[in-house]
Amino acid sequence: MTSHLVLAGDEPWDTMNGVWALIKDNDDSPDFIYILAEEKDYIDDVKDDIRIMIGQYGLETEIETDVVKGGEPLVKKINNIVDSEKEEIVLDITGGTKYLSAQILIHSHIDWFDHIYCLFYLEQEHMRKPYPLIENSRIVLKDLKKDPEGE
């Protein structure tokens, strides 16, 4: 069983693109996706869009969302996700705000996650485009746990 903990920020495409890259180019097929965000305004739309996108790959993945505000509630949410899973847990910080990404990493143990991914854009405007419309040479998907030096 594979679970993806996906951090969402202000830019919906940025959040979706991280998930899209993992599924399309990494051949990931998560059983569960947990989307965490600091604000509720867009999280339901992102959830719906991710559900449609993963459906195009024949995946029937359960998706849950939650709005968190750092500190103790965040720690409890991460612990609940980690404790409920028996196999692989992937953290995708691509779309997360700097604050939320830092909070997750501060309040977690690195060993909880099998992979920590971030989709890097060579130009800022690419984070506002759908993944298939971005030239492959303009983006890099990195596993920060496996390659902490970014090489």
Domain spans of the chain, in order of start: 2-143
The model's confidence at residue 72, banded by pLDDT at 50, 70 and 90, is low
Read off the pLDDT of residues 86-134 as tens digits, 9 standing for 90 and up.
688 999 999 998 888 888 888 888 888 999 999 999 998 888 999 999 9
The model's confidence at residue 148, banded by pLDDT at 50, 70 and 90, is low
Give all strands of the β-sheet with 2-8 in edge-to-edge order: 62-67, 32-37, 2-8, 88-92, 115-121, 139-143
pTM: 0.90
Domain 2-143 has CATH 1.20.5.50: no
The model's confidence at residue 81, banded by pLDDT at 50, 70 and 90, is confident
| Residue of 110, 102, 70, 88 lying closest to 32 (CA atoms) | 88
Backbone angles phi, psi at 6, to 5 degrees: -110, 125
